[in-house]
Amino acid sequence: MPASTLTLLRVVPAGLMLLAGLAQSVVAQTSGVRVAPAAPEFVRQALLVAPFRPDSTPVGLASASRELADALHDRLDRRLENRETQLLESFRLRNVLLESGYDRNAILGDIELRLMARKIRADEVVFGRVSRQGNTYVVAGRVARLRNWDMQQPLPVVRGATVAQLAERLAEEVVKARAQLPGLRRCENALAARDKATAAREASRAIQAYPSAVIARDCLLSALFDGQTGADSILAVANDALRIDSTNTYAAVARANALETLNRRSDAQVQWGRIYAAHTDSLELGTIVVEALLRLQQPDSALHDARALIAHFGSNAELQRLSFRAQTTMSQWKAAALLGDSLEQRDSTFRADSNYATRYVEALRLSGDSLGALELVVRNVRRFPGDSRLYLQYLQLLGAENGVALQRGLERFPDVSTLNVLAANAARRTGNRGAAMRATREAIRKDSSLTPQYLQLADGYFDEQRPDSALFTLLHAPRAGVQAEMLRTYVIARGVTLLRSAGDTAPTAQQIAVRMLVLADSIDSREDSRAYVAAAALQASRTQLVTASRSRECAAVRSSDETLKLSADAITRGLGEGTNATEIGSAYEAMKAAIDNATKTLCKEP
């Protein structure tokens, strides 16, 4: 419930009330003047008992439904505190019906009942449906508040053989349900005062007073939207409210939002779909659902619902903007360009938002209207001078990556890594490798998630015959997300190439190649990367052992043995089936025997 809809009441602190009471007592005793009782905490509420609606037309059910309203009114009149509640007489509603051209015994729908109740200044309405099962009447009643009709308290279903029995049992349930009202109204007052902690505390007390409270749970949900309460707690309260009343709109929306926050996207989509299906007559809720579907990356469903809302309620700018977003998300560029043309002319909100501007430029460009896109982006670069996305679109359309415009962009947007990427590309095309690498390093410094730029920088180091710097760069490249496979594939290719070019005469390059292949296997260990690691480690270990045989140094033998352990680990984790795996296994056994013999010869104990 939005705080703006709540009534702000000033509540005197309890301590001050006590002191005021003592002072009044002293004055009364000394002066003999009678002191008026303290004002009630809350404004008196006007309660209307509306005629109940018969579910069908068996003989006598309509008249019994009308009699039930009168009988319930009488019993509530005896049970409710007059200082807190004013029971509105039924004739007032009948008079308004006659004045409005209705039959005095007309059966009113929700919208009509709400309008008539407002005319007679009701704050709350008791209404419901009456059906008959054999000789037993069944009543499903509800209590609604006029300030927010969607927040209603369902009453337990009551049964009785006579109208008198129904009225007695229903009155008892109404009184029980109203036990939540003191805590509820304190919750609402606290929300109006922006004291959400107090609001949550009072709502919880209201729920304790009436465990089946729905409206109090709605107020509790409002209090829990404080930026600190976890979405799981909000979801639990919303679920409790919906278990009591599955039609509660506020709890349904709170549940959908909580599911989104918890990243339960599929469940959230289902929940938003339920809300849309249950409120096809609500433009406001329908629009909220369309926005939610776009957040959930369901543009097809969002566009379908937006078009249905337009067909039902007529077109408006907000629905057109939502349709535009859905079309651009689905790459429906021609349709988006046409709708963008219309919105650009008629909708100030569309023109004032650079997010729409970038989408509109892209729609024009990809629908083939490059000239229109360039004209628009030039205008928007002036309109939104601080938006680097538009400037990048301007560069793209201008084709001036190596010109004055690019340099101007680097100066205007020094923190935008994409401009450094463009500068690197321009330098690379002209053969200026040093400038390209400097621009690439700057782009990575600004945005460490740019996996392609790490690979380009590594390429530069390989071109400069600096594989150690290339390895250092690749070790710092991001290994998660959709670009992990790109990094893995690149590292394997570069590692294998380096290993082959190194031969047995470049042990340092061999070791770097082994480390690169180990890196690839650490990103995602599979049979292919394990086989590469095993084979590379065997080759590097062999080179080290040859060095040991020449130098006659035990340390070189130990190094060879350590390198061979990488091969052993890869083989243990599995190389798959096939000739290569068998050959690698045989080579490993031979290499292990050779190292053992060298160890006995060169690593004798002194």
Q: How many domains does the chain have?
A: 2
Single-letter amino acid code for the residue at 270: V
How far is Cα 132 from Cα 161, in angstroms, rounded to an integer?
Answer: 10
Q: Indicate which CATH number applies to the domain containing 76.
A: 3.40.50.10070
6 lies in some domain: no
| DSSP three-state, residue 211 | coil
Query: With bands split at pLDDT 50, 70 and 90, how would you rate the model's confidence at 467?
Result: very high
Domain for residue 10, yes or no? no
Q: Is the separation of the CB atoms in 546 and 510 below 8 Å?
A: no
pLDDT for 15: 33
Please give the model's pTM, rounded to 2 decimal places: 0.72
Domain membership of residue 99 (yes or no) is yes
Tell me the residue range of the domain where 500 lies: 461-602
The pLDDT of residue 400 is 55
- Cβ within 8 Å of residue 558, ≥6 positions away: 603
- The answer to whether the CB of 327 falls within 8 A of the CB of 339 is yes
Residue 550 makes CB contacts below 8 A (sequence gap 6+) with none
pLDDT digits (tens, 9 = 90+) for 380-418: 999 999 999 999 999 888 875 547 788 888 888 989 999
Supply the pLDDT for residue 44. Answer: 83
pLDDT at 207: 97
Say if residue 82's pLDDT is above 80.
Answer: no
Rounded to 5°, angle at Cα 346 from 341 and 349:
100
- Provide the pLDDT for residue 582: 87
Of 205, 230, 263, the last residue of a domain is 263
Per-residue model confidence (pLDDT) at position 517: 94
Answer with the one of 224, 247, 263 that is the final residue of a domain.
Answer: 263
pLDDT digits (tens, 9 = 90+) for 299-346: 999 999 999 999 999 999 999 999 999 999 999 999 999 999 999 999
- Identify the bridge partners of residue 54 per DSSP, sorted by sequence position: 130
Residue 27 has pLDDT above 50, yes or no: no
Largest CA distance in the chain: 121
pLDDT at 17: 30
Domain boundary among 243, 263, 283: 263
Q: With a cut of 70, say whether residue 20 has pLDDT above it.
A: no
Q: Stretch 66-91: mean pLDDT, rounded?
A: 87
Q: Please indicate, yes or no, if residue 7 is contained in any of the structural domains.
A: no
Q: Burial of 106 by CB count in 10 Å (0-12 exposed, 13-18 middle, 19+ buried)?
A: middle
In a domain, 1, yes or no: no
According to the model, what pLDDT value does residue 10 have? 29
| Band of residue 58 on the pLDDT scale cut at 50, 70, 90 | low
Q: What does the CA dihedral 190, 193, 196, 198 come to, rounded to 10 degrees? A: -40
pLDDT tens sequence across 202-241: 999 999 999 999 999 999 999 999 889 999 999 999 999 9
Of 29-33, 267-271, 414-418, 534-538, give the lowest mean pLDDT range. Answer: 29-33
Does residue 196 lie within any of the structural domains? yes
**pLDDT of 7 strictly over 50:** no
348 near 325, Cβ under 8 Å? no
Residue 505: predicted pLDDT: 75
Residue 5: its pLDDT value, please? Answer: 33
- Buried b / exposed e across 480-505, counting CB within 10 Å, b at 16+? eeebeeebbebbbebbbebbeebeee
Question: What letter represents residue 500's amino acid?
Answer: R
Give the chain's mean pLDDT.
87
566-605 pLDDT, tens digit per residue, is 999 999 998 887 658 888 989 999 999 999 998 888 887 6
Q: How far apart are the first and last CA of the chain?
A: 86
Q: Decide if 161 contacts 68 (C-beta within 8 A).
A: no
Q: Confirm if 120 and 98 have CB atoms less than 8 A apart.
A: no
